[in-house]
Amino acid sequence: MARDRKERKKQPRVIIFTTPTCSFCRAAKTYLRQRGIRFREVDVSRDQAALRDMVRRSGQQGVPVIQIGNKIVVGFDRPKIDRLLGLG
């Protein structure tokens, strides 16, 4: 159990930029939850400052954009998400 806590502390910060109507956003959130990955969701349809921040970070206006640590994943790219999170 101590090892589980230690491993969780090593998880990089995860932010997922979404909109309510995005099916790939829902799939990405479900995928992260199923793997026990904590994340902060930012709805860019309700927050123009967050939208600008997402575009600045990713160069993209489409969602989902997932920030894992200081790396950006554009779209729901499972292999890249797994690699950045150290999942096998």
Per-residue pLDDT of 20-52, as tens digits, reads: 999 999 999 999 999 999 999 999 999 999 999
Consecutive H or E run containing 72: strand 71-74
Average pLDDT over residues 58-66: 96
- What is the CB-side half-sphere exposure of residue 23 using CA atoms within 13 A? 0
What is the pairing mode between strands 65-68 and 14-18?
antiparallel
In which domain, by residue range, is 43 found?
A: 2-85
Query: How many domains are contained in the chain?
Result: 1
* Residue 20: CATH number of its domain: 3.40.30.10
Can you give the pTM of this predicted structure?
A: 0.87
Indicate whether 7 pLDDT > 60: no
Residue 25's SS3 state is: helix
User: What's the rounded Cα separation, in Å, for the pair 14 and 3?
Assistant: 21
